[in-house]
Structure 1
Amino acid sequence: MDSPSGCAASAFFHYDNGSRSQKVAVRLLKNFKGYLQSDGHPIYDAFEDGEDVCLCGCLAHIRRHIELCKEENLEYAMQGLKFIQDMYNVEYMADKQELPYEGRAELRQRLSKPMLDSFELWLKNTYPKVLKRSLMGKAIAYAYSLLPRMKPYLHDGRIFIDNNRCENALRPLVISRKNMLFCGNHEAAENTAIICSLLGSCKERGVNPREWLNDVISKLPYYLAPKSDRDLKELLPDVWRK
């Protein structure tokens, strides 16, 4: 995915025999270094104390849990959502001003940090007032556990406030999966993940997938020829676009 400063990246989908276990994530990201942004799924806890990986949280997932509490406790839900909306307003302000990532980080330090601190205090003070097993109790516990992962975004404008770009890239695949009900077998699912990765990367790079496919398919025989010294990476959407 791209960053708030507009640096584009690529989409990557991975299928591992239907598993979403921690060992799959560790194996897939064993050589990864940098910011790793995700929801609060426990599989990412394995990277909590890593020297080369900084876990970043997603404010949209925190908001989603609190929104579910409106019918149960509207007063507290609206209080929590107000803190979150205020932090999003800072992002809208940075977008409107077209701030570079250094300027976005400075704005977050000045405006968003006090908001996040106040939100943390509200969570601590509100939790004893609700039932732990209630929707609000669970939402507060979820939000509070992820607050340490929200703090890196305050210091680096390249980090999004949420991972909605990844969620949006995943949505078409999820909808297709529900419509298809199944891929047929594990091999077909793996192939689907590869195709979705390539087409998703086209979308992120602003590449017309039809033009890319037509051109790549016509060139593949030359790249796959026995004596060819051409690198298939040249056909990936980000390189092809250049």
Structure 2
Amino acid sequence: MTHNKPLQIELTVQQVQALIDRGEQRSFAEQDYPIVLTIIRNYFALDHAHQEKSYAILRLLNRFFGRRTEKAREVLKRCSPEQDLPASLKTQGESSRESPKGHGRNGASAYEGAQKVCVPHSCYKAGDRCPLCPKGKLYPFGEPGVEVRIVGRAPLDATVYELEKLRCNLCGKVFTAPVPEEAGEDKYDETAGAMVTLLRYGSGLPFNRLEKLQDSLGLPLAASTQWEMAEKTADKIYPAYDELIRQAAQSNLFYHDDTLMKILANLKEIETEDERSRKGSFTTGVLAMRDERPMALFFTGPNHAGENLAKLLKQRASGLSPPIQMCDAASRNVSKEFETLLANCLAHARRNFVDLVPNFPEECRYVIEALAEIYHHDKMAKEQGLSSDQRLRFHQDRSGPVMERLNEWLQKQLDQRKVEPNSSMGKAIAYMLNHWEPLTLFLRVPGAPLDNNLCEQALKRAILHRKNSLFFRTEHGAYIGDLFMSLIHTCTLNRVNPFHYLTTLQRHTSELFKNPKRWLPWNYQQAATNPA
């Protein structure tokens, strides 16, 4: 049924009541039928418009406030609570509710950055006689007992050195005590620069908020000073960022996406430029996987994700096979400059159906359950430690038939007119069918991922910056942010302490500039202990 614009019918209240009376008596006149048909058409047109508007409002609310959950268990309970969940979803829920063993969220081994203090026994030592049975002797036993104590302090601490001054009563010469060696030469040392940038670009804490916090603790640090520290730190370590980009370009798998980001200086320039010029600025997040080693990159400017990926791939060595490119199906994510194996995000396709659960519960349930099987198979492959080739064969055997049945079901919905093509459900189905090949790349290419969730998680750093600071002032400021966010998030992905990493780079600036490939998060400690 096509939903055209509703036709207007001018009827008085008396005419409407008379029409209802004739309908109840089943005695419509000939002139009543066009009116009744028009009313029926208008009813369905308005109902369709209401559903579409409700769906649009729901998407808008989700965009502003986030979704409550996209987990299949919760979504399927909302759409049909009386039906049982698939076995795979039941087992997933049970395993996730198991209480972790231990005495808290973090055991003592998790405090890798803590100072460790060895405490000898105050009353006894190894070799002493046992105080309970005089015949026995005490000896070291197993691992030491562990107690953790946590103290609070300011993000940046300060030490005031009061240098004694002595003055000759005859010649007037003043002798000032020298500054201790441990004080260093600079007012703000390497750790200060590392902490400011880590708080700013790793945790999204704006400079002015840190300024107020430090001031309230009696350790003032102006926002302008913090920016100068960040800029000077970037000047010392930027070769590591350039090398990270170069090595990421050689990867065999790229996840990428972008999000809006304002640059004030660019907005002022746009006012004087041609109306057809691109007006927006974006932050592109790229997560590159090379030999199972993740590298996170951020690029902020007027370019879209596909353009930034093409620029990155220009640094790719010739002779390498085309990499896998994972993104959503937006045209701005793809560039024709370089050949890639395109994979589209199943989570994006699934999300279209999750949003429609209130209006199409049964149809959405079928799709969500089918995709839940695919994710269950992928989880099994990870738990079994399968290689890329083994994972491919596993998915072909287990997930291939599921996707074939899903494809047939989607085609049937449109071919048999079970779903209106122009409705939200029709568009969700068409999205999957139109992008079926890239959505199912994991069934044909070893190592192809199912979704782009890893990149979306990485982009949360840029989104956190946008929520707290709203914008970058200049492109130079955006570059500084990209540099630190890339290095910090790459450290996090590789389980490396970003504070220690940024501090070490500043202390070995000359070596870093000579050979930056030795100073990346996964090998910098070896370079620091064994300088070339």
Name the TM tier (shorter chain): 0.7 to 0.9
Match for 2:349 among 62, 66, 70? 62
Q: 1:191 is matched with which residue? A: 480
% identical aligned pairs = 25
Deviations 1:157-200 (A, max 9, x none): 42221121111111132122122111222221222112111111
Q: Which amino acid aligns with 1:68?
A: D
1:205: how far off? 1.4
Partners of 1:159 and 1:198 in 2: CA distance: 25
Match for 2:425 among 131, 136, 142? 136
Match for 1:38 among 327, 330, 335? 327
Deviations 1:23-75 (A, max 9, x none): 4554444565311111111123444xx88311011111111111111122111
RMSD: 2.5
Taking structure 1 as reference, are residues 237 and 204 closer, same or farther at Cα in structure 2, changes over 3 Å only? same
Q: Which amino acid aligns with 2:463?
A: V
Judge conservation of contact 1:205–1:237 (CA < 8 Å) in 2.
Answer: yes
Deviations 1:75-94 (A, max 9, x none): 11111111111111111211
Partners of 2:511 and 2:379 in 1: CA distance: 48
Q: 1:236 is matched with which residue? A: 520
Partners of 1:27 and 1:135 in 2: CA distance: 36
1:4-23 mapped onto 2 (5 Å cutoff): 7-17=292-302, 19-20=303-304, 23=307
> The residue matched to 2:451 in structure 1 has which SS?
coil
Taking structure 1 as reference, are residues 108 and 52 closer, same or farther at Cα in structure 2, changes over 3 Å only? same
The count of corresponding residues between Structure 1 and Structure 2 is 233
Q: 1:76 is matched with which residue? A: 363
Gaps of 5+ in 2: 1-286, 317-321, 527-532
Moved over 6 A (4+): none
Q: Does 1:95 align with 2:382?
A: yes
Taking structure 1 as reference, are residues 149 and 30 closer, same or farther at Cα in structure 2, changes over 3 Å only? farther
Q: 1:112 is matched with which residue? A: 399
Q: 1:227 is matched with which residue? A: none
Higher fraction of helix: 1
> The residue matched to 1:238 in structure 2 has which SS?
coil
Q: 1:155 is matched with which residue? A: 444
Higher fraction of strand: 2
Partners of 2:345 and 2:488 in 1: CA distance: 25
Partners of 2:422 and 2:397 in 1: CA distance: 36
Taking structure 1 as reference, are residues 65 and 196 closer, same or farther at Cα in structure 2, changes over 3 Å only? same
Report 1 or 2 for greater relative contact order, CA contacts < 8 Å, sequence distance ≥ 6: 1
> The residue matched to 1:167 in structure 2 has which SS?
helix
> The residue matched to 1:133 in structure 2 has which SS?
coil
> The residue matched to 1:12 in structure 2 has which SS?
strand
Q: 2:172 is matched with which residue? A: none
Q: Does 1:171 align with 2:460?
A: yes
Judge conservation of contact 2:298–2:482 (CA < 8 Å) in 1.
Answer: yes
Partners of 2:386 and 2:456 in 1: CA distance: 24
**Does 102-111 or 123-132 show the bigger shift?**
123-132
Q: 2:230 is matched with which residue? A: none
Q: Which amino acid aligns with 2:333?
A: Y
TM-score by length of 1: 0.85
Taking structure 1 as reference, are residues 51 and 216 closer, same or farther at Cα in structure 2, changes over 3 Å only? closer
Taking structure 1 as reference, are residues 52 and 22 closer, same or farther at Cα in structure 2, changes over 3 Å only? closer
Judge conservation of contact 2:512–2:518 (CA < 8 Å) in 1.
Answer: no
Q: Which amino acid aligns with 1:110?
A: D
Partners of 2:466 and 2:525 in 1: CA distance: 29
Q: 1:125 is matched with which residue? A: 412
Partners of 2:451 and 2:299 in 1: CA distance: 21
